[in-house]
Copies of this chain bind each other. A is one copy, B any other.
Amino acid sequence: MIKAGIIGGAGYTGGELIRLLINHPDVEIAYVNSSSNAGNYVYEVHTDLFGDTDLRFTSEVSTDIDVIFLCVAHGDAKKFLAANPMPSSVKIVDLSQDFRIKGTSPEGTGFVYGLPEINKQAIQTATQIANPGCFATCLQLGLLPLAANGLLTDELHITGVTGSTGAGQKPTTSTHFSWRSNNLSVYKAFEHQHLKEITQSVVQLQPDYKHSINFIPYRGDFARGIIANIHTKFSGTEEEAVELYQKFYAGQPFTHVSTQNIDLKQVVNTNKCLVHVEKHGEYLLVMSIIDNLLKGASGQAVQNMNLMFGIPETAGLKLKPVAF
């Protein structure tokens, strides 16, 4: 059994990771760290786990583990590792954005960007994973088949809508139910922080890509999921696009190309990404959907762990969709 430690277990991604790992056939949770909740039962914070686990939060950080998941705020992963150096025997999966961009810090050198659809081999031999952002995952899985074939020849026009869990657990004005229900609003238009990691991956696959990525993110009036529409110029036919996408994702257990129109709830509470392409005039429209807390965070973290430890990529991730 893989012994796993979780840092920052009281937040949304930490809770989702616990939900996955308590049913993972090859993992046992060694501890769930949350300094502010130390001593409390995990189900006192993640109340849906009542009856499923008697784990308690701890403030300790043991290194007698095989893998550690960092479910901490952006900036805190670096601080944590500086304060708590991990022995080389402990694999690291960081869910923050601290190590996603290469070359920005010497500490980040050993981190592999954990998007299995493009970096599977590197992940399998990695010991340190920078887990991708949620919007970043959704958009890249819509874009990368084109980049891999050198077919991103023009600007990208993207609108995406994210669920409220993407904004974290702290109650704020924009997550207040009275405001957010039945409401939509744009934030960080053209300036979302995930554009950096998206660009990095696009350039990894298509080094000459120099066009802009025009991305307009929305706050959605639902709790889970991301849906994005991307359009860009594409000289081929719809059939060629479908074939290109299907080929790129052949063998990927979680990312699939639907020839039918897709809707967000097809993937909620799963680790899947569905993409769908349509040709309209000179444009290719690509739709992409994920669950932001699963394929966009904790699910992908487990997928990366599975790959690092050489167990089946889908272990612990065959999840019942919520569907409704």
Smallest CB–CB gap between A248 and chain B, Å?
15
Residues A323 and B19 in contact in the complex (CB < 8 Å), given A189-B280, A223-B181? yes
Copy number of this protein in the oligomer? Answer: 4
A274–B283 CA distance with the chains assembled, in angstroms: 30
- Give min CB distance, A238 to chain B, whole Å: 12
Question: Which of A20, A157, A267 has the largest number of chain B CB atoms within 10 A?
Answer: A157
* B51–A321 touching, CB < 8 Å: no
A sample of 19 cross-chain residue pairs with beta-carbon separation below 8 angstroms, ordered by A number, consists of A20-B320, A23-B318, A44-B260, A51-B272, A157-B231, A159-B216, A161-B218, A164-B176, A177-B177, A177-B221, A178-B223, A178-B324, A181-B182, A182-B224, A183-B263, A185-B264, A186-B229, A190-B285, A224-B322
Q: List the B side residues contacting A267 at CB < 8 Å.
A: 48
Whether the pair B186, A287 counts as a contact (CB closer than 8 A) is yes
Query: Cβ of A324: which chain B residues have Cβ within 8 Å of it?
Result: 12, 163-165, 178-179, 181, 223-224, 293
Residues of A within 8 A of B (CB): 12, 15-16, 19-20, 23, 44, 46-51, 157, 159, 161, 163-165, 167, 169, 171-173, 175-187, 189-191, 212, 214, 216, 218, 220-225, 227, 229, 231, 254, 256, 258, 260-270, 272, 274, 278, 280-281, 283, 285, 287, 293, 318-324
Expressed in whole angstroms, the Cα–Cα distance for A19 and B268 within the complex equals 13
Considering the complex, give the chain B residue whose CB is closest to the CB of A230: B216
Whether A179 touches B265, Cβ cut-off 8 Å, given contacts A171-B171, A184-B220, is yes
Scoring A46, A47, A172 by chain B CB atoms within 10 A of each residue's CB, the highest score goes to A47
A184 → chain B closest CB, angstroms: 5
Which residues of the other chain, B, contact A274 by a CB distance below 8 angstroms?
Answer: 50-51
- Closest CB of chain B to A137's CB: distance in Å? 16
A301 to B197, CA, bound (A): 46
CB distance from A291 to the nearest CB of B (A): 9
Instruction: Tell me the bound Cα distance from A269 to B48 in angstroms.
Output: 10
The reply to whether A19 and B321 form a contact with Cβ atoms under 8 Å apart is yes
CB neighbours of A189 from chain B (8 A): 229, 278, 280, 285
Knowing A159-B159, A175-B176, A177-B175 touch, does A182 contact B223 (C-beta < 8 A)?
Answer: yes
Task: Evaluate contact between A283 and B175: CB separation under 8 angstroms.
Answer: no
Chain B residues near A321 (CB-CB < 8 A): 19, 48-49
Q: Which residue of B lies closest to A181 (CB)?
A: B223
Chain B positions within 8 Å of A175 at CB level: 171, 176-178
